[in-house]
Amino acid sequence: MKNTLFVCVENSNRSQMAEAFAIIHATESVKAYSAGSSPSGIINPKAIESMREIGYDLSKHLSKSLNDIPQIEYDLVVTMGCGDKCPLIRAKKREDWNIPDPKNMEIDEFRIIRDLIEHKVKSALLI
């Protein structure tokens, strides 16, 4: 099982969508997680809407902190460009994707970020 963790500050947009795309596209040998260094406690309604457009229900996800995820060594830890360092998260490989935070973007711009995240997840997991 390849354990993959996606991290951003609030765990309400980018990391949530990345986890969802890993669930959508990955094989059964991948287990995806997401978390935030300072979780907002909610999933951004625009993230829910943009994922609903492609047939995924993100409203079932929860905004989680780094303390809420399994304390294991991850095969891949991805930060979303928000400067989050994950010193307490053990990882075989780390990547920073430097993806703009779509939180305050209009929905058309939000969709561009969603699609970028999907492309990066597929590339990272070699899907």
Q: At what angle do helices 45-52 and 107-124 cross, to 10 degrees?
A: 70
82 annotated active-site: yes
Q: Is the dihedral of CA 96, 28, 115, 39 positive or negative?
A: negative
What distance in Å separates the CA atoms of residue 9 and residue 19, rounded to the nearest whole number?
14
**Residue of 24, 86, 116, 127 marked catalytic:** 86
Which amino acid is it at 1?
A: M
> How many CA atoms within 13 Å lie on the side-chain side of 7?
27
4 neighbors 72 (Cβ within 8 angstroms): no
**Residue of 9, 32, 43, 82 marked catalytic:** 82
**Residue of 3, 4, 5, 8 marked catalytic:** 8
- Which sequence positions are flagged as catalytic? 8, 82, 86
